[in-house]
A and B are shown apart, each in its own frame.
Chain A
């Protein structure tokens, strides 16, 4: 078995893309795979993007081969463009944003919970299974086009948000393997992939774009999420190298919020004219607003633009309603709403959540990308007053197709750091829709050929929660301390013992550990024990568990252990409990079950 191709897959929140190249090519030709998909019932069309939506058909709708694909008959679900359209018209039966659910540790992501809040009679699937279905579609499309090169035998690079923690990565890998991707699958952070895509287009000339000491801010605003990353250029043994310095938190705000905000505003304008839109018209309005956004935001665009909703039935012209929308208001709404001018010391506004809050996706209460950016740069600087200063900016994500948003972000950065020190746009081609998949394929090729690599190790540090011993106080939980087990920047392919006191694991029943991660505590080393921290520094993720079978040879009710960590070559985090009295060891697994 030898790989012929390297395949890069961007499993996006709203769109997925597959890019590939020959592994042995002298210069990689990065090709996008046309992905055949249902665009309407019984109608298949190849497109370069597969919308990450899944539609669960009601009994009759699946009949007559309506949801058949060239490689599958008798389907009762659909993935892709048809599902995206259904998402608007039949929301109860459409799974959306499965990826955002993957990293939401307050729900069990292996349980069938999607579509979220759907009526009981609708079949449901888990976020992991939904991701598996999207990947299966890509695998089938690939194998239909390349019958001589099965996906499982190729070199595959799958991208994940930089802000995914170890547990979300593990679930992504689980879905990927179930979909038939090879076991030596490599996970790559999306912003890094965007940088690789830039490297692929500039080739050896990249050194002219960045020099020693430069810091690149990758600003990736996708349909549903925003991902921020800093990459530094440094010199190592006389060579210019790139190192990923920091990643931001997973922010659930993106282009869809902008379209929705505009649609909401325009619906208000219609209401002023006495036109109430029905649900179908609201969907059509959303679509119109998505298209109108670029016209309305373009500096050369008209002062006013009519946004129309076509009549639903056959009386199309007669049923059409339209309102003039002026550029000024839209620009205020979107540019000032999502990219407001703010100070570098500002923080995202947190709304007080009162009383009961429904568990759903934790959407950001502050949609201002610039304030989230300020908070990110503060967390990576020496102090909040001295935030990290990027020298260059690389944009990614469809949102930045609008010129005005790119220039606003650059403007704001310029105001923060002063004219001379203003971060500049990284020169080169920016393919906003496909860069991540292209970069992933290029990374696979460069990994094989020994080309330029971005170093950086783990984006986060990890901590195990240890309850302190001592007298129990009735009604008060025992104080919790956090033992650092993985430092930020731990390299792939390395392992280490974690120095600590012995920890007693009870034999014969599962041992649970609370588990935390941090993307800001850079100076912690394995074995450091924290007794206080702020919520911004450490965030709790899925707990870990180990099941120790009873051991007849040992009489003790518990086994004293210490931790040992390993980051595999593929970037998988493994945490082991190693007995201090015998050669035995037990692996800790993520427990993604819902906590009681």
Chain B
């Protein structure tokens, strides 16, 4: 009897603690799943954080790819085999794709040269230069400053305005929807 009352009491405690304590609930879940309860982790004082910004519904890379396909048909072009087409046929398609990709690049990234100097100019690279902005090739020896010829002024995105996507997660990887012409 005693035993039974004890068990009823325990059942109620488990019920309420499972209901109101996430850690207990997880341990109970493990017992029911057949595993051993994990040692209670030492509670770490969690600083009260504002709710984090909602994570984007899909990766920006997919949204960018979708934009390039929608506006410039870039995915269709790359996915198609060039074998069997003449250069003229390819050229006819590429002009439009090139133009439309350029429009998207300009609107989303506004690409500009990464450094101000003209291609072919003599440039001095001071000590403490940013290796992400300058890539040195050739006879790189000793300590900066270095001196050399600018063979490529690089590119920099002056803005990054990839659209935001808010669709159903099930469609998060759809780059281009299937199109049906209703008759």
Contact = CB atoms under 8 A, between A and B. Distances in A.
Q: Is B one of A's binding partners?
A: yes
Contact of A44 (B93, B95, B163): B163
Contact of B96 (A43, A310, A318): A310
A40 B66 contact: yes
Interface string B160-175: 0101111110010000
Interface stretch (B5-13, B42-50, B77-85, B118-126): B77-85
Contacts of B165: 42-44
- Consensus secondary structure, chain B interface: helix
A42 B80 contact: no
B167 A64 contact: yes
Interface in B16-67: 63, 66-67
Contact of B73 (A44, A65, A66, A316): A316
Report the contact-size class of chain A (Cβ under 8 Å from the partner): 20 to 34
A65 B67 CA distance: 19
B67, B89, B96, B171 pick with most chain A CB within 10 angstroms: B96
Given A314-B76, A317-B80, A317-B82, A65 B92 contact: no
Contacts of A45: 67, 161, 163-164
Nearest to B89: A317
B99 interface: yes
B163 A64 contact: no
B130 interface: no
Interface string A62-90: 00111010100000000000000000000
Interface string A308-323: 1011001111101010
Contact of A317 (B85, B163, B166, B177): B85
Given A317-B82, A317-B89, A317-B90, A44 B96 contact: no
A65 B168 CA distance: 7
A43 B63 CA distance: 8
A335 B39 CA distance: 83
B70 interface: yes
B164 A320 contact: no
B65 to A, nearest CB: 12
Contacts of B97: 310
A470 B8 CA distance: 106
Given A316-B77, A320-B89, A306 B167 contact: no
A46 interface: yes
Nearest to A69: B166
A308 B96 contact: yes
B166 A68 contact: yes
A331 interface: no
A310 B98 CA distance: 12
A533 interface: no
A70 B166 CA distance: 9
Given A308-B96, A320-B89, A320-B93, A44 B164 contact: yes
Nearest to B76: A316
A317 B91 CA distance: 9
A288 interface: yes
A363 interface: no
A41 B92 contact: no
A311 B89 CA distance: 12
Nearest to B58: A42
Nearest to B181: A280
A68, A288, A316, A318 pick with most chain B CB within 10 angstroms: A316
A25 interface: no
A291 to B, nearest CB: 6
A308 B161 contact: no
Nearest to B167: A42
A302 to B, nearest CB: 11
Contacts of A44: 163-166
12 contacts: A40-B67, A41-B177, A42-B168, A43-B163, A43-B166, A44-B165, A64-B167, A70-B164, A291-B99, A306-B92, A308-B93, A314-B80
For the complex of A and B, 4 pairs with smallest distance between CB atoms: A42-B167, A45-B163, A322-B92, A316-B76
Given A43-B167, A310-B96, A317-B82, 15 more contacts: A40-B67, A42-B165, A43-B164, A45-B163, A64-B171, A291-B96, A306-B92, A308-B93, A315-B80, A316-B77, A316-B80, A317-B80, A318-B89, A320-B89, A320-B93
